[in-house]
Amino acid sequence: MGVYLVISLFQRDGDDLVNMLQLEDSDLQFFRETLNVLDEDPLLYGEYQINTEANEKIYQRYGFKLDLEKYDCFAGYKSS
């Protein structure tokens, strides 16, 4: 059992869940700062929308960019 960052991609027109990406090696503090997570959620168990600025920071750190024109993307930690 582990805890992983999950990025959910929803179709912008229709709100259907299209895909979920799981990052096994993620930096909690990086994502807390990048997604402007409040102190009330120190372990990032809520779902936080990835905006253009956050998308660029994720790209610089992890090497992938999400298509925010096509998808609404959210990130949060989940246990498996």
Domains and CATH numbers, the chain: 3-79 (3.10.50.20)
Q: What is the pLDDT of residue 59?
A: 98
Which residue has 């120190």 as its token pair? Answer: 42
8-state DSSP, 54: H
Q: Which pTM was predicted?
A: 0.90
Q: Are 5 and 61 in contact (CB under 8 A)?
A: no
Strands across the sheet with 17-23, in order? 17-23, 3-11, 71-79, 48-49
Model confidence over 10-67: pLDDT tens digits? 999 888 999 999 998 899 999 999 999 989 999 999 999 999 999 999 999 999 999 9
